[in-house]
Amino acid sequence: MTTYQSTSPASNHHASEPGDAASLANILAPVAPEIALVEEYLVTNLIDDTVFIGELLAQIFQAGGKRIRPAITLLCSKATAKDKDSELSRLHIILAVLTELIHTASLVHDDVIDKATLRRGQETINKKWNERLAVLMGDLLFAQASVCLSRIMNPVVVGIYGQVLGDLCSGEIRQMQQQFSTSINFDSYIRKSIGKTASLFAAGSHSGAILNGSNDEVVESLKQYGLNLGLCFQIVDDLLDVSGTSFELGKQAGSDLSGGVITAPALFVLERGDAAAKRLETLIKTRAVSTAEGTLEALTLIKENGGIEKTQDLCRHYANLGKDCLLVLPQSDCKDSLESLIDYVVTRKK
């Protein structure tokens, strides 16, 4: 039987199903002015000492992206602000900017590692130019994130984000080591997902509360909120890789399996121990899964043997844990949005 690792500080558990996700713009309405400032910072305040670098940065940030990480940072900051009605301080805006910079930098590097050709509906930097340039552009974005971090002037927050950079790398390394392995268990899948994704969500969700001087219980609960939401986000990402299309996603679908990255939908089939599990195991171990026919066969095995439904259940498990973490917050629009954001992440289609 599969056991899920709990990251909830609260024991009471909501069994409610996520409802229809309202549009992301509606959910983010309580921090709309601040998100506009983050957007402005991303497109105007970055180092562009050559026209070419300026154009690359513009390409990267104007391609869009859901901006979920900065949104969480802003919502958690506002939900714990002493004065609920005033706009957030410049430091909170910079915190949100640096969270998006680290995310974007990691994607630029990730596309090199995955040899991806499409991101946010556009050709990746490694495809359009080359891998060396993509590595350096990722580094440039990390450098800009460190400048932002220094402007916040809080050693605890510096430590949190320093740890996140390490977690992102170790999560990716862990994933690399597990490629084409069929002996991965859910515990190592979840740990890898915390490293490569949920750690950054968690940093964004509790650092604003630290800057606001919130008490330890609130800070820890928001950290756990971010961890659980980040896990939901990554599990849905892994699900969409199986169930979505490249057109819908703006990136290649099916690329996890073809690259030998074994995620929840495949793990659920492998743990059945039946004929379907044995066949999937063979496709992965022989690397037949990397061929077009092998990927298709593996995707069909997953879809026909409950891989999608069980992954949705796993996602709802973390969604409920994430919602529990919000119980420490006083009632506010931002708290409601943080709850709705979980439903959005669970039901998102791209």
Q: CA-CA distance, 171 to 90, in Å (whole number)?
A: 31
SS3 at position 41: helix
Contact 318, 232 (CB under 8 A): yes
Q: How far is the CB of 270 from ligand FPP (least distance, A)?
A: 18
Q: CA-CA distance, 281 to 284, in Å (whole number)?
A: 5
Q: How many residues at the interface with Mg ion, by CB under 5 A? A: 2
Q: Which of 72, 82, 302 is nearest to 198 (CA)?
A: 72
116 vs 137 by CB, closer to ligand FPP: 116
Contact 145, 137 (CB under 8 A): no
Q: How far is the CB of 251 from Mg ion (least distance, A)?
A: 7
The residue assigned the tokens 């298709």 is 296
In single-letter form, the type of residue at position 107 comes to L
Indicate which of Mg ion, ligand FPP, none lies near residue 113 (CB less than 5 to 8 Å, by partner kind). ligand FPP
Indicate which of ligand FPP, Mg ion, none lies near residue 262 (CB less than 5 to 8 Å, by partner kind). none
140 vs 211 by CB, closer to ligand FPP: 140
Q: How far is the CB of 296 from ligand FPP (least distance, A)?
A: 19
Indicate which of ligand FPP, Mg ion, none lies near residue 106 (CB less than 5 to 8 Å, by partner kind). ligand FPP
Q: How far is the CB of 237 from ligand FPP (least distance, A)?
A: 6
Q: How far is the CB of 16 from ligand FPP (least distance, A)?
A: 28
Member of 39, 87, 110, 123 binding Mg ion (CB under 5 A): 110
Indicate which of ligand FPP, Mg ion, none lies near residue 237 (CB less than 5 to 8 Å, by partner kind). ligand FPP
Cβ of 139: how many Cβ atoms within 10 Å? 13
List residues near ligand FPP by CB under 6 A: 106, 109-110, 113-114, 116, 142, 165, 168-169, 172, 196-197, 237, 251
> CA angle 225-154-217, nearest 5°?
35
Indicate which of Mg ion, ligand FPP, none lies near residue 240 (CB less than 5 to 8 Å, by partner kind). none
For every residue of 289-347, DSSP letters joined together read GGSHHHHHHHHHHHHHTTHHHHHHHHHHHHHHHHHHGGGGSPS-HHHHHHHHHHHHHHH
- Which segment (111-119, 149-157, 313-321, 341-349) binds Mg ion by CB under 5 A? 111-119
Q: CA-CA distance, 319 to 68, in Å (whole number)?
A: 15
In single-letter form, the type of residue at position 285 comes to K
Indicate which of Mg ion, ligand FPP, none lies near residue 339 (CB less than 5 to 8 Å, by partner kind). none
Q: How far is the CB of 256 from ligand FPP (least distance, A)?
A: 7
111 vs 343 by CB, closer to Mg ion: 111
16 vs 179 by CB, closer to Mg ion: 179
Q: Which of 1, 96, 84 is nearest to 41 (CA)?
A: 96
Specify the length of the chain in residues: 350
**Contact flag: residue 114 with Mg ion (CB under 5 A):** yes
Indicate which of ligand FPP, Mg ion, none lies near residue 197 (CB less than 5 to 8 Å, by partner kind). ligand FPP
Contact 246, 119 (CB under 8 A): no
